[in-house]
């Protein structure tokens, strides 16, 4: 696709006009600087393909961190009518409920500086990471079935955290409607020993320092202050979620034609939301999402234990509280205003974050007057952000915003570009201690492989989709 095919609406909003078999137009929330990269990897073409799917409402959306993905773009958002629309596994992705959790503390950098290397080394030991990594928990089928029904609540009930964590998780850490009977034996096998593990790729655990506070009143409500140490965790549903996606992509690929669905791309295999297959996928996806919530909850518990072990202070006294936990790859049934009328929609977010405004009924009481905390990670060598949801996001993007920096390079290209470089040493020179399972893994995730996070945040704030609250710089990081 060429730039001339896209119309500029405003500084941070671009239109792909409806044409041929597009059911709705495409809208890109992006700057001119970021648009060139999006065009070069053909992400707008995937935005167009999504717009051709049955039951899509108003527009096919892309966030500023958009890049090419499986079928649908990473950074894509779409709402489908709950009665006439479709469910699209490829528009959720393989890592169902890949997401981010932010943990606050009452510590400042000077409190951990002398212990930082010991701290990150012990976290690396206590929280398994890497491809196929397995944790100390090995669950029997009947226990895993409880995990995928209860989500983070299962973790808390079994001693991994406290009840206060639950209200600081999207959907309170438990998605309703998960059904153990629609999960394959292979998914259960893969998920049995991976709870409490980071995984590989762009998943990470990062110790950070708050370097800027932009809105003190909301930051206070989030428990955030300048100079503070925070911990960010990025992980998902591991092999369990991957297998769920694989199973249903195969199933949907076989039934789409039976429902008279013409696919613009076979990777967008889908089924009607009210069909047997559509309902089964949603139950299986909710199960995988609950696995991910439980996973991040267990990791949180082990982070707290590790801080306590190294600093010899109970984690409760360190005030290691969950700020919020958000999903990036998910499909939710949500009620939205469409042209003045309330409608139920299946909102697909793939590499995008829910960003609900203050007063939204889905928010816990503590955030009713602020809006939802939005947690946006950067890269190993760049800052991360805390944003807050806005009313404009509800009006324009189904209450959605970006999810991170977004890749600039493929993993293969990143490895090639980092040849003869020591990424660990480069990060150390920036004041960041980096631990990785392999040099290859660190090379794939080097900061240069990602877009400018500051530019991405400038777009979503400039477009009114979310508002900056604070910025954190990395001081130590574990990469899968």
Please identify which of the residues 328, 336, 403, 412 carries the catalytic annotation.
403
User: What domain range is 434 assigned to?
Assistant: 3-87+94-479
In this predicted structure, the answer to whether residue 387 has a pLDDT above a threshold of 90 is yes
Q: What is the pLDDT of residue 437?
A: 87
In this predicted structure, the answer to whether residue 12 has a pLDDT above a threshold of 90 is yes
Q: What is the average per-residue pLDDT within 426-438?
A: 93
The Cα 179–Cα 99 span in angstroms is 21
Percent of all residues in the chain with a pLDDT value above 90, rounded to a whole number: 93
Q: What is the pLDDT of residue 446?
A: 93
In this predicted structure, the answer to whether residue 234 has a pLDDT above a threshold of 90 is yes
In this predicted structure, the answer to whether residue 131 has a pLDDT above a threshold of 90 is no
Q: What is the average per-residue pLDDT within 199-214?
A: 95
Q: What is the domain-level CATH number for residue 473?
A: 3.90.1860.10
Q: Confidence band (pLDDT; 50, 70, 90) for 135?
A: confident
In this predicted structure, the answer to whether residue 439 has a pLDDT above a threshold of 90 is no
State yes or no: is 403 an active-site residue. yes
Closest CA to 103 of 200, 199, 234, 194: 234
Q: What is the pLDDT of residue 56?
A: 98
- What is the total count of domains within the chain? 1
The pLDDT tens digits for 290-317 are 999 999 999 999 999 999 999 999 999 9
The pLDDT tens digits for 157-200 are 999 999 999 999 999 999 999 999 999 999 999 999 999 999 98
Q: 436-460: b or e for each residue (b if 16 or more CB lie within 10 Å)?
A: bbeeebbbbbbbebbbbbeebbbbb
Name, in order, each residue with C-beta under 8 angstroms of 32's C-beta and a sequence gap of 6 or more: none
Rg, C-alpha atoms of the chain: 21
Q: What is the average per-residue pLDDT within 6-27?
A: 97
Distances (CA, A) of 419 to 100, 415, 423: 30, 6, 10
Q: What is the pLDDT of residue 129?
A: 85
In this predicted structure, the answer to whether residue 245 has a pLDDT above a threshold of 90 is yes
In this predicted structure, the answer to whether residue 138 has a pLDDT above a threshold of 90 is no
Q: 366-382: b or e for each residue (b if 16 or more CB lie within 10 Å)?
A: ebeebbbbbbbbbbbbb
Q: What is the pLDDT of residue 204?
A: 96
**Mean pLDDT score of the chain:** 96
| CA count, 13 A, side-chain hemisphere, 98 | 26
Q: What's the chain look like in SS3?
A: CCHHHCEEEECCEEEECCCCCCCCCEEEECCHHHHHHHHHCCHHHHHHHHHCCCCEEEEEEEEEEEECCCCCCEEEEEEEECCCCEECHHHCCCCCCCEEEEEEEEEEHHHHHHHHHHHHHHHHHHCCCCCCCCCCCCCCHHHHHHHHHHCHHHHHHCCCCCHHHHCCEHHHHCCCCCCHHHCCHHHHHHHCCCCCCCCCCCCEEEEEEEEEECCHHHHHHHCCCCCEEEEEEEECCHHHHHHHHHHHHHHHHHHCHHHCCCCCCHHHCCEECCCHHHHHHHHHHHHHHHHHHHHHHHHHHHHHHHHHHHHCCCCCCCCCCEEEEEECEEEEEEEEEECCEEEEEEEEEECCEECCCCCCCCCCHHHCCCCCEEEECCCCCCCEEEEEECHHHHHHCCCEECCCCCECCCHHHHHHHCCCCCHHHHHHHCCCEEEECCHHHHHHCCHHHECCHHHHHHHHHHCCCEEEEEEEEEEEEEEC
Contact, 468 vs 384, CB < 8 A?
no
Q: What is the pLDDT of residue 201?
A: 86
Q: Confidence band (pLDDT; 50, 70, 90) for 367?
A: very high
Q: What is the average per-residue pLDDT within 414-433?
A: 93
Q: What is the pLDDT of residue 371?
A: 98
The pLDDT tens digits for 259-298 are 999 999 999 999 999 999 999 999 999 999 999 999 999 9
Q: What is the average per-residue pLDDT within 94-98?
A: 98
Q: Which residue has the tokens 């518990």?
A: 301
In this predicted structure, the answer to whether residue 137 has a pLDDT above a threshold of 90 is no
Name, in order, each residue with C-beta under 8 angstroms of 425's C-beta and a sequence gap of 6 or more: none
Q: What is the average per-residue pLDDT within 448-468?
A: 97
Q: What is the average per-residue pLDDT within 146-151?
A: 98
Q: Confidence band (pLDDT; 50, 70, 90) for 225?
A: very high
The pLDDT tens digits for 40-80 are 999 999 999 999 999 999 999 999 999 999 999 999 999 99
Name, in order, each residue with C-beta under 8 angstroms of 397's C-beta and a sequence gap of 6 or more: 29, 61, 63, 77, 355, 465
Q: What is the pLDDT of residue 220?
A: 98
Name, in order, each residue with C-beta under 8 angstroms of 381's C-beta and a sequence gap of 6 or more: 426, 427, 430, 432, 446, 447, 474
Closest CA to 130 of 447, 439, 438, 443: 438
Q: What is the pLDDT of residue 293?
A: 98
In this predicted structure, the answer to whether residue 441 has a pLDDT above a threshold of 90 is no
In this predicted structure, the answer to whether residue 438 has a pLDDT above a threshold of 90 is no
Q: Confidence band (pLDDT; 50, 70, 90) for 4?
A: confident
Euclidean distance between the first and final Cα of the chain, in Å?
A: 35
In this predicted structure, the answer to whether residue 136 has a pLDDT above a threshold of 90 is no
The Cα 21–Cα 26 span in angstroms is 13
């Amino acid at each position: 696709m060429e730039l001339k095919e896209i119309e500029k609406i405003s500084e941070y909003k671009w239109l792909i006009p409806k044409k041929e078999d597009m059911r709705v137009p495409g809208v890109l929330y992006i700057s001119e600087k970021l648009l060139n990269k999006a065009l070069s990897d053909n992400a707008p073409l995937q935005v167009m393909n999504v717009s051709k799917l049955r039951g899509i409402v108003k527009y096919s959306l892309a966030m500023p961190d958009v890049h090419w993905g499986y079928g649908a773009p990473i950074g894509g958002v779409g709402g489908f009518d709950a009665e006439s629309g479709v469910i699209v596994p490829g528009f959720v992705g393989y890592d169902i409920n890949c997401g981010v959790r932010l943990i606050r503390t009452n510590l400042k950098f000077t409190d951990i500086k002398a212990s930082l290397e010991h701290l990150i080394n012990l976290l690396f030991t206590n929280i398994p990471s890497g491809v196929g990594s397995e944790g100390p928990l090995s669950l029997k089928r009947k226990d895993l079935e409880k995990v995928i029904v209860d989500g983070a609540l299962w973790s808390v009930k079994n001693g991994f955290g406290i009840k206060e964590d639950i209200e600081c998780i999207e959907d309170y850490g438990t998605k309703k409607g998960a059904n153990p009977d629609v999960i394959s034996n292979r998914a259960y096998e893969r998920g049995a020993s991976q709870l409490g593990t980071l995984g590989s790729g762009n998943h990470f655990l990062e110790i950070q320092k708050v370097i800027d506070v932009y809105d003190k009143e909301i930051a206070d409500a989030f428990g955030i202050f300048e100079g503070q140490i925070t911990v960010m965790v990025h992980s998902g549903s591991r092999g369990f979620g991957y297998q769920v996606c694989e199973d249903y992509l195969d199933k949907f690929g076989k039934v789409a034609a039976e429902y008279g669905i013409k696919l613009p791309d076979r990777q967008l295999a889908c089924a009607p939301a009210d069909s047997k297959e559509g309902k089964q996928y949603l139950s299986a996806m909710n199960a995988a999402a609950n696995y991910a919530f439980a996973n991040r909850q267990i990791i949180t518990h082990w982070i707290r234990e590790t801080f306590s072990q190294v600093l010899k202070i109970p984690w409760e006294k360190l005030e290691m509280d969950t700020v919020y936990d958000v999903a990036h790859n998910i499909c939710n049934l949500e009620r939205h205003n469409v042209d003045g009328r309330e409608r139920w929609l299946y909102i697909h977010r793939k590499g995008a974050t829910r960003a609900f405004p203050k007063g939204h009924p889905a928010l816990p009481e503590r955030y009713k007057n602020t809006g939802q905390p939005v947690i946006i990670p950067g890269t190993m060598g760049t800052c991360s952000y805390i944003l807050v949801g806005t009313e404009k996001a509800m009006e324009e993007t189904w209450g959605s915003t970006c999810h991170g920096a977004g890749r600039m390079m493929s993993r293969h290209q990143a490895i090639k570009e980092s040849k003869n470089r020591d990424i660990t040493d480069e990060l150390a020179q920036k004041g960041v201690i980096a631990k990785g399972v392999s040099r290859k893994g660190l090379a794939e995730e080097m900061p240069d492989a990602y877009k400018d996070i500051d530019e991405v945040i400038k777009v979503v704030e400039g477009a009114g989709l979310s508002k900056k609250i604070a910025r954190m710089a990395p001081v130590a990081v574990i990469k899968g």
